[in-house]
Amino acid sequence: MKIIVLGAPGVGKGTVAAMLSKKYGLPHISTGDIFKDAIRNETTLGLKVRSIVETGQLVPDEITNEIIRERLEKPDVKNGFFLDGYPRTIEQANAMDTFAKPDLALNFSADRNIIIERLSGRRVCTKCGAIYHIRNNPPKKSGTCDNCLGKLIMRKDDSEAVIINRLDVYERQTKPLIGFYRKKGLLAEINSGYQMNEMEKIIKQCDDAIARVKNG
């Protein structure tokens, strides 16, 4: 089953998609991870997109479309996937329909204030990439990774000013996808405004939506 995961930055779609990936045995493909790896490794792609990502803007469609098309041609996705972070525009959605039409679009939503609190509190290890949250998932020692003792930092795109810009970009460029997939009858609304200890409530909504598609 080909499933795309929609929602604003910080809404929790990546975390849930990773959990669903394990549960259903389908790859979790994150465009954000693809770009971050490229930036970290200073590849040709990374050099192109670094300044775009760090200011909260969207990577141009022609670059993103090609990256995703190539990824979805790999054999590990023959039975389906959970695709997080793509498409983000109507143009990307139309492009995806030419090489991998989705069966379902899970649209995650949460209050804007919850999203800002989630993202601004996030800290990332500079050595192993582990992610913490100063309130919801703090390290044992402040500023230090539990796994490798690396330094924890706030990413540039997690500053409040950039977060607000990212949300504004989402509202302007990505939110129209909700209507796009609703018209196709593929949209399932997921309330993701729950705390980490209530994750089963989010998973249950996703399971129900997936079951409806499977049962036709």
Q: How far apart are the first and last CA of the chain?
A: 12
* Catalytic residue of the set 36, 71, 118, 122: 122
Query: Pairing relation of β-strands 81-84 and 2-6?
Result: parallel
Dihedral sign, CA of 207, 209, 212, 214?
negative
Residue 60's nearest CA partner among 84, 86, 33 is 86
* Catalytic residue of the set 50, 69, 112, 155: 155
* Active-site residue, 172 included: no
* Catalytic residue of the set 13, 36, 71, 123: 13
Does the bond joining 87 to the residue before it have cis omega, within 30 degrees of 0?
yes
* Active-site residue, 69 included: no
* Active-site residue, 166 included: yes
* Active-site residue, 122 included: yes
* Catalytic residue of the set 71, 118, 123, 166: 166
* Active-site residue, 204 included: no
Catalytic residue positions, numbered: 13, 88, 122, 155, 166
